[in-house]
Structures are given as structure tokens and as C-alpha cells.
Amino acid sequence: MGLADLTMKELITVDYNCGCGRHHHMAIDHLAVGKGAVQKLPEFLEDQKMKDGTPLTKEDKIYVVADVHTWKVAGEKVYQMVKEEGYPVEYYIFPHEEMHTNEIFIGELEDAMPKDVKLPLAVGSGTINDLTRMVSFQREIPYYIIGTAPSMDGFATDVAPATIKGLKCSLPAHCASGIIGDTDFLSTAPDYMVAAGIGDIIAKYIAINDWKLSKIINGEYFCEEVSELMLKSTDKVAASVNGLVSGDPEAYQYLMECLVLIGIAMGYVNNSRPGSGAEHSMGHVLEMKCALKGLYGELHGTSVGMATCVMTEMYQKFLTLDIDYDKARRHAEAFDYNQWAKEIERVFGASSDAIFKVYEKAHQSDPDVVKARIDIIEKHEKEIREVLTETVRKAAKAPEYIGAMNGMTSPKEYKVFSKEEFRDILLYTKEQRDRYAGLQFFYDLGVLEELTDYIIDKYYD
């Protein structure tokens, strides 16, 4: 029996010696997903332990964190439940219509939350979860997340994505001690938030593909069981999209469980590889460039879902090409660092220094580094094409799945960016982080510009 055969309850408490050679471990204290799941909250609180192992008591202050939207959906109900259980409880409602996880809002919550709080309860999803995660981590206290929308895959992760000084990054944090996904709340989420959740799930087809590529090309660690777990869960959500459209509670339960499961899988391997490839890097760059414009942009899952549609199209087109490896090597040798640096400053502006630091670490476009990868790609071309063919087969319906809830499937719908700006994003997303993925693969083979032009023509003209 492998990871893909375990129940959710088993997966959150797993202690597993895997065939990949690593020991997978997870210890989430409390998880409830389904209709009426919030009713488990009093039981979870009664059983909750603090970081030092001492129990949470009726003398310990609990703090409900919500925003103007999530307070109405579930925040007030959670507050009243905790109050009725006899705990001292206070709350904070962020007054803003739109927020990102950045130093401004982290500071706002830090200032608002009393110093004697022992357990914050985040009522919301992406931003509320990450802000509460960051502040509770800094204070070394546990926290819970009561999800109000199945819109992102960060419920069970131990990192917090944040935009700090204009750069999208992942900051060290901790996993929620309690995760509650009540389908009575989740099913009331607006369609665009559900579509974002679908996008974040369907993105796993590309994420796992890119992880496999890096295993073949760079010898990167890869876990077959975690990969199988992710793909099996993604398939299950894909098969239940019609249920999401009709409001079926079981379909919402599948979606929420898969969103939680992604964080668990990342915890198993101690990085975000199972859930993040070129599509996530592209999403991060979209968010970074929105921040540089002083704009909120789209939900993370919205950006990632759209990027998944684009990456699938690029892989599909790539499979029709005959690769000229000698031409690819000449392309690699033509790299001009000074010209590249000028382009980075043009595209990333105030965030350029962070991009340069990535290059100093990875040298991702250095001719010798690229040519070494080309040699391996040429040697393993058949295996790589088999991987890509299977990925395209699974991901080809991404626009259909995301579009079922009226989600974004085309870059042209991302009104913040012109087609010239999106062309820059396709060409330079690979510089954003030290992780081998699809856009770097295309660059290595000298076809990134050709595929970029294909995407721009397809979606804009």
C-alpha cells in the first residue's frame, strides 16, 4: 500500500519510509472537511496543545481573524462558537476590500493582535491564512484556518508566499494546527474563487511534469509516490467539476481535500515541487508585476490556472517541433549577459536586484551550463517526449475545467497587461527563481521565443 492508497486521516499523521529513499512525515493536529465540519471546532480546541506540549485551557485567549467578506460568511459564527465554549475571545476584521500578503498587512495584524493571544483562528482562505500564519509563526503559537473559499492550495503548507519589497517570495512559517473546510461555507464562494481553486489544482499536471523533467535532466530528487498521489487527486477533482457547477457538497469536499493534500505533499518532500512548476512561477511574476504597478491583480489560483492553460499550449506545440540540437547549442553560446541584464532591468524594474541574485546562484543561462543540459536532453529525448505527451493528454482540458466556473483561461483576459508585456512575462519568468521548469527547458532548446510568439499570436491576434 502506497501514499495514494491512504485516507486523508492517515495522510495527515503519516510516518512513512518511502521507496524514494526518504522518510515522509506529517503531523497536522486536526482536520475536518465536509458538510457541517465547523462543528468539530469545540472538540479540536479541547484537544489542542501549545508548542511546549501544554494544553490550551479556558483561560487562554483565542483571536478570530477575518476580513469584511469572510466575517459575514463564517467569522461571526466562529467567534460566537468560541465565546459559547467559554474561552476569552477577541476578533479583528481587516477593513480593506483587497489585500495581499505583504509587509504592510503583516504589520497591521501584528499590531492589532494582543500579545496574550494563544491561538489565532484565521477565517478566510489565501491572504487571511498567510497573514495569520506569518504572525503566529513569529510569535511561536499555533493557529487554525477555517476556509471560506476553495480558492488556493496553501491550507496545509509550512511556508507563506508573500510579496516583500515588490518581490514574490516564500517565507518560512508553519503549518496550521487545525484545518476546517465546511462545505456549507465553501459552496457559497463566488464562482471566480472556485475557478481559482480548480486552476490551482489542474496546475499540478504541469508541476509534476516539470518535476519529472528536472529529474531526467538535472538528476533532481523525485518521489514517484508523491507524484502519483498528486495526479490521482487532480484527476478526482477534474472528474468532479460538473458537481462544482451544480453545487454538489461532495464535489466541494473533493476540491477542498485536494487543496489541503497539496500542502501535505509538499511537506512530505520539504519543498513545493509537487505543487509548483513553470505555471506557478508565471503566476508569481504576474503578481510581482501587478505589485510594481501598485495594483492588486488577480487571485493566485486565477493567475496559475491561466498560466496552466498557456503552458499546456506551449508543450502541445513543442511536441510538433523537430529539435535541432546544434542550433540549440549555438543559441546557448550567443547568450550576452550585459544585454540580458538590460532586459531584466526593463522588465522587472525595482525587483531586478532580486533577479540578479537568482542568476548569481543558478547561472541558468550560462552557455556551458545550458549546453550540458542540452546533451542530457538529446540523450533522453524519447523519454522526455513520452512524459510531455502524457502531460498534454491530461492537461488539455484545463480551459474546459476552469471555464466551467467562468475562470480565466486566456492571458488576454488579464487586462492589466498588454500583449507586449505578456510576451516579456513568457520570456523572462524563468529568471524569477532557481528551479528548473518548462520555460527554461524551452530556452535550453532554443525554442522559447518561437513558442512565445505562437502563444501571443494564438491568444491576441
Predicted TM-score (pTM) of the model is 0.92
Across the range 79-90, mean pLDDT stands at 98
pLDDT band at 265 (very low <50, low <70, confident <90, very high): very high
- Provide DSSP, 204-246: HHHHHHHHHHHHHHH-----HHHHHHHHHHHHHHHHTHHHHHH
CA distance 404 to 413: 16
Q: Residue 154's pLDDT band (boundaries 50, 70, 90)?
A: confident
Average pLDDT, the chain: 94
Check residue 270 and give its pLDDT: 86
Give the mean pLDDT of 37-51: 96
Q: What's 140's DSSP letter?
A: T
Residue 381 in grid coordinates: 529525448
Kindly report, residue by residue over 98-109, the tens digit of the pLDDT. Answer: 877 788 899 999
* CA gap 439, 307 in Å, rounded: 12
Q: Which residue has the higher pLDDT, 406 or 159?
A: 406
Higher pLDDT, 2 or 91: 91
pLDDT of 81 strictly over 70: yes
pLDDT in tens, 341-375: 999 999 999 889 989 999 999 999 999 999 999 99
For residue 63, pLDDT beyond 70: yes
When pLDDT is cut at 50, 70 and 90, the band that residue 177 belongs to is: very high
Confidence category of residue 167, pLDDT binned at 50, 70, 90: low
Q: Measured between alpha carbons, how far is 284 from 170 in angstroms, rounded to an integer?
A: 10
pLDDT at 295 over 90: no
Rounded to an integer, the average pLDDT of 299-323 is: 97
> What is the identity of the amino acid at 310?
V
Q: Whole-angstrom Cα distance, residue 377 to residue 239?
A: 34
Q: What are phi and psi of 204, to 5 degrees?
A: -65, -25
Q: Is pLDDT above 80 for 165?
A: no
In the chain, pLDDT over 90 holds for what percent of residues? 82
- Alpha-carbon span 279 to 174, nearest angstrom: 24
Q: How far, in Å, CA of 193 to CA of 389, rounded?
A: 30
Q: Is the pLDDT of residue 80 over 90?
A: yes
Q: What is the spatial distance between Cα 94 and Cα 79, in angstroms, rounded to a whole number?
A: 15
The predicted structure's pLDDT at residue 188: 93
Over residues 180-220, the pLDDT tens digits come to 999 999 999 999 999 999 999 999 999 999 999 999 999 99
User: For 11-33, how does the pLDDT look when each residue is reduced to its tens digit (9 = 90+)?
Assistant: 988 888 999 999 998 878 999 99
pLDDT at 261 over 70: yes
The grid coordinates of residue 413 equal 483576459
Closest CA to 206 of 307, 285, 284, 297: 307
pLDDT of residue 170: 73
Q: Read off the C-alpha cell for 385.
A: 517526449
Confidence of residue 166 (pLDDT cuts 50, 70, 90): low
**Phi-psi group of 103: left, alpha or beta (phi > 0 → left; psi -120 to 50 → alpha; rest → beta):** alpha
